């Protein structure tokens, strides 16, 4: 059972469209991270959010941490083929700030 | 600056054989993680080291898995004997302790296939 549920699992869109990926849990996290992973590579950190309600923008990507620190969203504006990949959220909880990963959202942006 | 280095990148073995993976973290990073990633899933933590000390190995199947980080730098993860269900990608990551965000840098992983 995954502590973090991501939705949708798969997303295939045309270049230029907008999209939102969700990461939900019933648990509270001290921080939450979003990663992008390409085939044959390890995940690459995109952002870390630590405060409930926090919003961070990274060019066309907007990340939001829920007020209760149980959920997060990633919004991509005007998606490009280079955005294709597996998007993973990971929440930190517990004594050693252990990270729990979601199962990921596989995004395909078609040119 | 070199990233996290892992070897081998790919390994194919028969069941019941032993296998070992090696990881060299980013220079100066005292926290090291080993994760297992099954196809279509997110990574799951196997073990976490702070320097030489394994501070969280609760998810490591200790009957067949072992890990070490003798000098607080490189680490090896071993499986003996391997089972079919161990086929997965084994990821190593490192971070700098003391940062609140615990920003993790991942290596490319070792893809293990057990036949």
| CATH number of B69's domain | 2.60.40.10
Alpha-carbon distance of A74 to A34, in angstroms, equals 8
The pLDDT score that the predictor gives to residue A1 is 52
Alpha-carbon distance of A37 to A88, in angstroms, equals 8
List the 85-104 stretch of A: residues with Cβ below 8 A of B.
88, 90, 92, 96-99, 101-104
Alpha-carbon distance of A40 to A53, in angstroms, equals 34
Domain ranges for chain A: 5-110
> How many structural domains does chain B have?
1
Instruction: Determine the residue among B42, B102, B106 to mutate to test chain A binding: the one whose Cβ has the most chain A Cβ atoms within 10 Å.
Output: B42
Which range of residues forms the domain containing residue B10? 5-98+105-114
* pLDDT-based confidence at residue B8 (cuts at 50, 70, 90): very high
Domain A5-110 fold is: Immunoglobulin-like (2.60.40)
List the 26-45 stretch of B: residues with Cβ below 8 A of A.
40-45
A42 vs B: CB within 8 A: yes
The pLDDT score that the predictor gives to residue B101 is 55
pLDDT single digits (tens) A34-85: 999 999 999 999 999 999 999 999 999 999 999 999 999 999 999 999 999 9
Q: Give the range among A34-43, A90-99, B6-15 with minimum mean pLDDT.
A: A90-99
The pLDDT score that the predictor gives to residue A101 is 95
Torsion angle defined by CA atoms of residues B48, B52, B58 and B60, in that order, rounded to the nearest 10 degrees: 80
Contact criterion met (CB < 8 Å) for A98 and B105: no
Mean pLDDT, residues A81-105 taken together: 92
A44 vs B: CB within 8 A: yes
Q: Give the DSSP letter of residue B81.
A: S
B92 pLDDT above the threshold of 70: yes
Other Cβ atoms less than 10 A from the Cβ of B57: the count is: 16
CA distance B107 to chain A (A): 5
């Amino acid at each position: 059972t995954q502590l973090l549920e991501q939705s949708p699992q798969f997303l295939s869109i045309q270049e230029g469209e907008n999209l939102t990926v969700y990461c939900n849990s019933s648990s509270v996290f001290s921080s939450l991270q979003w990663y992008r992973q390409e085939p044959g590579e390890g995940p690459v950190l995109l952002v870390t959010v630590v405060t409930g309600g926090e919003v961070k923008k990274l060019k066309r990507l907007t990340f939001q941490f829920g007020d209760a620190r149980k959920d997060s969203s990633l919004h991509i504006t005007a998606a490009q083929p280079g955005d294709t990949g597996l998007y993973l959220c990971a929440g930190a909880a517990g004594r050693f700030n252990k990270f729990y990963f979601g199962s990921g959202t596989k995004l395909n942006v078609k040119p | 600056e070199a990233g996290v280095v892992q070897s081998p990148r790919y390994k194919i073995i028969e069941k019941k054989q032993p296998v070992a993976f090696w990881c060299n973290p980013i220079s100066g990073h005292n926290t090291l993680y080993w994760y297992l990633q099954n196809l279509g899933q997110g990574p799951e933590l196997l073990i976490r080291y702070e320097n030489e000390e394994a501070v969280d190995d609760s998810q490591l199947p200790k009957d067949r898995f072992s890990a070490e980080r003798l000098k607080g730098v490189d680490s090896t993860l071993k499986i003996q004997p391997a089972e079919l269900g161990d086929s997965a990608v084994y990821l190593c990551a490192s971070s700098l302790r003391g940062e609140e965000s615990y920003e993790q840098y991942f290596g490319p992983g070792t893809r293990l296939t057990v036949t």
